[in-house]
Structure formats: C-alpha cells, structure tokens
Chains A and B, each alone.
Chain A
Amino acid sequence: MKHKLRPLSSLLLCAAVALSAPVLADEQTQAEGLRIAKERKAQDTGWDNSEAEMKMILRNAQGQEATREIRVKSLEMQSDGDKALTIFDSPRDVSGTAFLSFSHPMDADEQWIYLPAIKRVKRIASRNKSGPFMSSEFAFEDMTSFEVEKFSYDFLRDDVYKGDDVFVVEQTPEDEFSGYSKQIVWVDKAHYRVRKVEFFDRKDDLLKVLEFDEYTQYEVEGKTFWRPHRSNMFNKQTGKSTELVTEELKFMQGLEENDFDKNSLRRAR
C-alpha cells in the first residue's frame, strides 16, 4: 500500500497544479508580457530627437502604385508621449502640408494639420485615430509613439521569426476608441525589436499585418538604437498595402520642443 500511495498523491498534486495552472499562467503571462513591453520601451529610451526622410509607397489591390515623399521630425519626451512633425513633399498638390502629433500615454493624443494653400492650422479630432494616415494603410494611431501604458499585455509563446528567437505578445489597447481589438507582436529576444505585428479589427478578425525589415544600428551618446529602414503594412481584408522606406535617418539634430509647436507647423517646408 505504501508503494501505491505515492503515485496517488503525486497524481493529486498534478491535478491540483493543473486546476490552478490557468490562473497562475494568466498572471505570469501578463507579467511577462508587461516585462517585455517595458524592456522594449527601455531599450528605445534616450534617443532624444531624430529627423528622417522617407518614401511611402501605396499599393492597391489592382496593382496601382503611388509614391509619397515625407520627412519626419521626432522628439522624445521623458514624462509624456513623443512629439512628431511630418512634412509632405509629394505629391505636389499637398506639398508643404504638415502634420503635428503629441502622443500621450493615457490621454487622447493631440493632432494638428497645416494646409499651406490657405495658411490654416486645423485641429484634428483625435478620437478618429483609426482613420487612415495620408490615404495609407497606416492608421493615425499606428504613427504615434509606443507607450507602455497604452496597452495591457499577455505573453503568448516563445517562437522563432526569420531565424531569430522571439517573444510573441498579445497587446490590447486601453483606449476604447482604438480601431483594434488587439495586436499580436513579435519581439526579438536579442534586442527587443518589434519584427511583426498583426492587427485585429473590432470584430476580432485579422485586419492588417505589419512587418519590419532592414533593422539598422545607430549610436546615440553611447547607446545603441535599432531602426527598421523598411516596413510594410498589408491589409488582409482589402489587399491594399503601404511600404515605408527610410532613405535617411539622423539623430541628435538639435530639435527642441519649440520645433514642435503650431508656429513650426506654419513654417514647415
């Protein structure tokens, strides 16, 4: 009998563990998801400011293609979301149009657009964050900076993506006005770089897939930052896609807060 007792008790123990496993795993995976998000943000903190020249290539399902040239100035904010100024250089009829965005971790983002033909700065209703940015497959909310507080997290699994070990994390927007029910994010273990994102619409159907490529290393004040020089957003529901190609990226451009106000918007060119 003594012999038989041990397997029985270990079986009970196993059952107990199995029963409590989902609860434990939930807390653990949420904590792990949050840890990954925080580490991702920490790895990308301290770049201060940057200026990029980019090409945005729009493709529709019929194969029609159009290229837009944009410049993006970015300013890292220590106790708030980042600020970004995007200037459109082409097509010519919108050349000089500039878009200013203040990202906030918890509050609604603040956004303005400058229309050069009528010299007018217009405030944008930031709740419309799911709307397309410049007719692209990127929504306004995809263009704002990543802030840990914007999502809740759940670690799903370890995986391998293009030969690299990655964490796969589900992140759920905290903002009820986000266009997404959730995002699944592939983050590499070596540098905590986002490699791929799947966006799910409000009906929980897969909407878009974003892939980052050509990660390039930059040194800013002794710290290493990685930036993708190519990202492609593919809309699974419409067959349309948008590719963002970084042509040139410079850090430490001496940008300050007054380069990101409505006066700077008016003279952006």
Chain B
Amino acid sequence: MSVKRLLIKGGRVIDPASGVDGIRDVLVEKGIISIIDISIQTEDAKVLSAEGKWVVPGLVDMHVHLREPGYEYKETIETGTKSAAAGGFTSVACMANTNPVNDCAQVTEFIRNMAKSKGAVNVFPIGAITKGLKGEALADIAEMAEAGVVALSDDGKCVMNAAVMRAAIEYAGMFGLAIIEHAEDIDLKQNGVMNEGVVSTRLGLVGAPRISEDTITARDISLAEYTGGHVHFAHVSTAGAVELIRFAKQKGVKVTAEAAPHHFTLTDEAVGEYDTNAKMAPPLRESRDINAIIQGLADGTIDCIATDHAPHGIAEKEVEFDSAAFGIVGLETAVPLSLGLVRDGRLTPLRLVEVMSFNPSKILKINRGTIQPGAVADITIIDPDKEWVVEPSQFKSKGRNTPFAGWKMKGKAVATIVNGNVAYEDN
C-alpha cells in the first residue's frame, strides 16, 4: 500500500554505515528517509510500531536465481521477489543462467521491465560473463552495463578457461563491474553430487572434493592480483577457500566473497539418507568448514551473506540423488539462520547488518544499505525473537526444496519496506 508518510516507532535502529545502534524513530516521506530521531511526533503518518524489534537497512541478497525468463515453472520474477520480501530482502541481484541466458541487453531489459511491473522488491540483474555461459567468448558486456547489470557471473558454472577469465576481469573493470565466480573446477568435481568425505563413502555417492573449489579460488586470486580487477567469490564453502581469500585480502588483492546460510548451518551429514534437498553446488561440507566460514564472516574475510536462492520444481528433486537438481529455496530462511550467528556470539548485530545489506550494496555499487536521512527508504523490520516453524507449502517462492522443513526457527522479518511502501508484513 502506498502511503505518503510512514513512521516507524520505537525500534532498535542498526545501521553500520552511520554506526548507529539504538532506539530511534524513523520517518519516511515520499520513499525517502527524512528524519531519524529519538522520538518523532507527527499526525498524518501510517505508524508501524517496532518496539522490541530491529529496524535495519533493507537486506540485499546479491545471489538469487529468479528463473525468469525460461524456467517460469520453477519461479518467476513476481514469485521470487515476493519470496524475497517475505524473507526481509528489499533488493536482490539475479543470476544470468536463465533461458535465454542474460548475456545481452535485450534480456537485461526484459528482466528490468518485468521487475518494474511485477517485482515486489528491487531487482538488479547480473549479466553473464560469457556468451551462453559457455565459458568461451565474452558476452555483450558494454551493452549489458548500459542496460543496467550490476555485476557479471556465469554462476552455475565455473569459467574454466583462465585466459577467458583474465579477459573478463580486465574488460569488466572498464565498466566498474565485479566478476562473480562460481569457483568449482569441473574436472576435479567430475560428476560429484555431494562433498567427498566419510558420508559420500558410506552412501556410495560420488564426492566433489574441497580442492575443486580451492584451486579455482587460488587461480582467480592470482588473476585478480595480476590484472588489478575485482573478483567476488560466490558461495564459499571450504575452509581452504576462506584461508586463501584471507591471505589475498592481507596482500591487498581486490577480492570479496559471500557465504550462504546453508553452508554455515549444515554439514554433509544433512544428506542423511539421500535427501535431495541437501544437494547443492558447492556441496555442504564438514564442521571445520562451517567454523572457518563463520570465522571469515566475523573477521571480514567474507563480506556478505547471500542465499543462492535456487528454487526447483518438485519433479527435479523427487528423483535419484545423482539426477536431482542442485540448490535450495534460500530467501525465506536466511534471516533466522543468520541471526543464529548473533545469538551464538559469533557476529555482532552491526556486523550482521553489514554483511546482509551494506556490503553487498557496496560490491554491486547500488545505492542501498543504509538508514540515514536522504537515503532510499528500503527498510527491514526484524523480530529477533519470533519463533516459527518452516513449512515449505507456505513459501512465497514456487520452490519447496529446502532441507529446513519442520525446523523451529527463531527470528523473522516482520515488515519489508521498499521505496517507502510496505512490500511485506507478517501477520
């Protein structure tokens, strides 16, 4: 519902950009944050009470798959952004592995137009690095940049040819675009369907070893260092990759990274008895990887939490584990899973908001990620104590694929405000 003025009263405002962490009122006018103060009195505004809740800059998920165009049976821009709003995200960046692939301006424009008419939250398209995600020829980068892509990625696939990757980093740099790498060496991965380890041995499933991620991470760090370009590592899943990225940052190499909630929450034990809902790429690893990822999020090695929201049709999961699609519905469980890190004392609330809003905005160079007078009124209100149970049939996403079905969660986005309008409100 569109209202001229919105007053968010009595919430705990957490804004890493300004360093604010305290009880404040926030007044929104015409889609812009106008005043933040201890107490604001006004007559003609819709009032949202936020007592006992967190008021944070709208969450930004820089890694989602909206599936449109081409796979509308899995998700559409409409359902995907509703899922985002329900999860507390006001902006999402969508990956290019649609059909057709987002490798030229027409597809970028299609996505932006569809988002404008049907999107519940802001949609920022990510363009492909290579034509058709084939890893061979560069996509139409200049015209996609002009059409509004915010980064480039062949996500879903690794750019296996190092010379192509080098060219991409250098070329994208001219447009200020980061290259987002899905670091997974397909030769080392072979046809691995889960982490290579004790569990894959017991289940007789082909394992994808950690080194399939580590070697590409090391390679791309070298390329970033040599070219001076910016490489962002998607969904970091191994302790080795965290270590490499930490070392690269210490050396001053321009790299950033993200981790997904499932990778810091679940180990490969979650595959249990061939649960295809626990099949992801990269796969769920082991507890030492989880610890390394959380440590990386805490110490600044990993910049963002991103969900890798990957909805699929049921028929793609109710099959042989080997044949099942990779990925899970991520948007609607990210907040409670990430809040767990705060409850465990691993992240401060400010750091959590930094990795879920401020940093991804910075990496994508979108004008979001802060609650300050003059900023766009993208705001998420989180009840950190709200308890609820994950019921996949209630997802706003078309996807039902989640390993968290039936989990008791603590913490939830209870209101999502996009450009000053309430896009989602929890009843």
B partners with A: no
Interface residues of A (CB under 8 A from B): none
Interface residues of B (CB under 8 A from A): none
